[in-house]
Amino acid sequence: MRMRDRATLYCFTAFSIFMCLESWRLGLGTFSTPGPGFLPFGASAVIGLIAISLLVLGRKQRVVSTEPFFKREGIFNLLIVLCLIFGYVFLLYYIGFFLCTLLFVLCCIRFIERRKWGVVIGTSIVTAVVAWLLFDYWLMVQLPKGIWVGPFFEKIWGFLWK
């Protein structure tokens, strides 16, 4: 069993113990009147039992994985994307959907493949405008306008920015 598999099974075991205790706290009830903790307790116990069984069965099979868990060249790209996504979630409320989308697409294309600035800016503007027209204007999804920039855009774009 590889190190990563063991680590996953330890996580599952810990999760199972935690959920069993929490389900117990909720109340298991009786068999004739099962309580709210009845099913989560049973399901968590199944997770724990399988995880422990796999750990016990695999304790003698130590396999050293030659393949790295993360691909070196790819992990930086992935970290950039993750940061951009969490940045998007964080900034959406402040700078609104339009600017957030524009910056998100711009950073994705520029930082990951270093395309020319013209292509990067063009693609991000087109994407942001199309997405805004499609979701905000046509489908009327109430996307955040951004508390920092909303009033400013409202002045410039008038009736479109409602």
Binding site for other proteins (CB under 8 A): 4-5, 8, 12, 19, 22, 26, 30-40, 43-44, 46-47, 50-51, 53-54, 69-71, 73-75, 77-78, 81-82, 85-86, 88-89, 92-93, 101, 104-105, 108-109, 112-113, 115, 123, 127, 131, 135, 139-143
CB of 31 to other proteins, least distance (A): 3
In angstroms, the CA 50 to CA 147 distance is 49
Show Cβ contacts of residue 37 under 8 Å, excluding neighbours closer than 6 positions: 22, 23, 24, 25, 26, 27, 28, 29
Beta bridge partners of 29: 34
Beta strands in the chain (DSSP E): none
In which residue are the tokens 């999804």 written?
141
CB 160 to other proteins: min, Å: 18
- Residue with smaller CB distance to other proteins, 144 or 153: 144
14 or 26: CB nearest other proteins: 26
